[in-house]
């Protein structure tokens, strides 16, 4: 049996270099039969999502020749059945079980695109702004990532926190895309990263993540647990929302626990746009930690989820890494995009389960020379 750590250096051309700054991550080569329910999976929809990603990959110089070759093959070969999709994936990709700190399991959650009422004009009912990226927000690329802030007396200082933005009139009306009813709705729109604002005249505006204020994301569910306001086993997106609406005098304090703040842009596509810059496919797109994986990477997730009024169900499915998020940190961590509507909201709000993650990487001739010692 091949030892997973033996192949790390051979994979440096396929994964971001930042992965290899730590020896705690390993990729164990497996055959496709090791992927639970691979032979009966619905890979066709994921294959179509992969084709969308491949169009972007072919234009991106950060992907190596193996990625280019695989994507050219994928784009030149349509797959109208799950079986044909499996054949093409098996021909072009090799599966690896991801281990991190000697563990093969990690946390998997879900997100969706909420639909909330709003208005293009401020009123007593719609008084909370959804902001576009303000002009004074500076995003400076550094060796360790992106530094956010604003210039004061020639120095770059941290940008306003969520609390500062809420309490002060720092941003102008020109920075407002649309108005919604409450800070609670805005906060959950920011957590999801995209959504549809339904206007009073029947029209709607699709908004998606554009940038953020640079402060670290802190989940408000943690605040409720640590302060004894809700038991851990009752924490879901829906229960948190209910608690906030039931405790209006304490809601702002809880919301301000998270200093991060998201700015949006309007979208013209039918589905929200992920961090890769492509429309997300409901049920087949996943947000990953981009420090570990390149966008477009196929991921076989073996986890579980809940259906309304039913027990927990297995989730063995191929998804495509097309997005990321502030709370998605780690090599075995993912956030499944469920789409929009009441079912998607339920799936996303109740998904917080352990699972295994297999990544499918483009085949490389170098892997044929790995020692079997």
- For residue 299, the model assigns a pLDDT of 98
Q: In angstroms, rounded to a whole number, what is the distance separating the alpha carbons of residues 211 and 217?
A: 13
Q: What pTM was estimated for this model as a whole?
A: 0.76
Q: Give residue 213's pLDDT.
A: 95
Residues 211, 190: Cα–Cα separation, whole Å: 11
The per-residue pLDDT for range 126-177, each reduced to its tens digit, is: 999 999 999 999 998 887 778 899 999 999 999 999 999 999 878 888 999 9
Structure confidence by residue, pLDDT tens digits, 93-116: 999 999 998 899 999 999 999 999
Euclidean distance between CA atoms 139 and 296, whole angstroms: 25
Per-residue confidence at 3, pLDDT binned at 50, 70, 90? very low
**Better pLDDT: 256 or 145:** 256
CB neighbour list of residue 135: distance below 8 Å, 6 or more residues apart: none
Judged by DSSP in three states, 120 sits in coil
Average of pLDDT values for 341-361?
A: 92
> C-alpha angle 117/118/120, rounded to 5°?
160
The neighbour count for residue 256, using CB atoms within 10 Å, is 19
Strand order in the sheet with 138-142: 138-142, 145-152, 155-157
Average pLDDT of the chain to the nearest whole number? 89
Strand-strand pairing, 145-152 and 285-287: unpaired
Chain CA centroid to CA 86, Å: 25
């Amino acid at each position: 049996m091949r030892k997973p750590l033996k192949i790390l250096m051979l994979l440096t051309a396929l994964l971001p270099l930042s992965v290899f700054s730590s020896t705690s991550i390993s990729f164990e080569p497996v055959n496709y039969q090791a992927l639970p329910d691979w032979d009966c999976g619905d890979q066709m929809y994921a294959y179509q999502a992969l084709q969308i990603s491949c169009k972007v990959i072919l234009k991106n110089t950060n992907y190596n020749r193996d990625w280019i070759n695989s994507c050219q093959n994928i784009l030149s070969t349509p797959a109208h059945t799950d079986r044909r999709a499996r054949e093409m994936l098996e021909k072009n990709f090799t599966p690896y079980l991801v281990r991190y700190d000697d563990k093969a399991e990690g946390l998997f959650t879900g997100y969706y695109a909420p639909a909330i009422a709003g208005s293009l004009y401020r009123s007593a009912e719609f008084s909370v702004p959804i902001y576009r990226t303000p002009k004074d927000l500076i995003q400076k690329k550094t060796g360790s990532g992106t530094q956010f802030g604003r210039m004061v007396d020639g120095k770059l200082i941290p940008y306003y926190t969520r609390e500062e933005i809420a309490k002060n009139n720092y941003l102008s009306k020109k920075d407002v895309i649309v108005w919604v009813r409450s800070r609670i709705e805005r906060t959950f729109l920011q957590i999801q990263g995209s959504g549809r604002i339904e206007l009073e005249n029947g029209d709607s505006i699709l908004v998606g993540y554009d940038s953020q204020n640079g402060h670290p994301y802190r989940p408000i569910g943690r605040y409720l647990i640590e302060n004894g306001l809700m038991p851990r086993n009752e924490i879901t997106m829906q229960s948190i929302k209910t608690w906030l609406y039931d405790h209006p005098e304490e809601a702002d304090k809880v919301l301000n626990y998270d200093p991060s703040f998201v700015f949006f842009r309007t979208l013209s596509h039918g589905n929200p746009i992920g961090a890769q810059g492509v429309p997300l496919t409901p049920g087949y797109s996943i947000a990953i930690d981009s420090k570990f994986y390149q966008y477009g990477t196929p991921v076989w997730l073996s986890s579980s989820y809940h259906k309304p009024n039913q027990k927990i169900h297995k989730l063995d499915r191929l998804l495509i890494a097309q997005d990321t998020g502030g709370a998605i940190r780690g090599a075995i961590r993912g956030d499944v995009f469920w789409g929009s509507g009441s079912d998607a909201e339920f799936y996303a709000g109740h998904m917080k389960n352990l699972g295994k993650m297999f990544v499918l990487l483009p085949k490389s001739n170098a892997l044929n020379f790995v020692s079997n010692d």
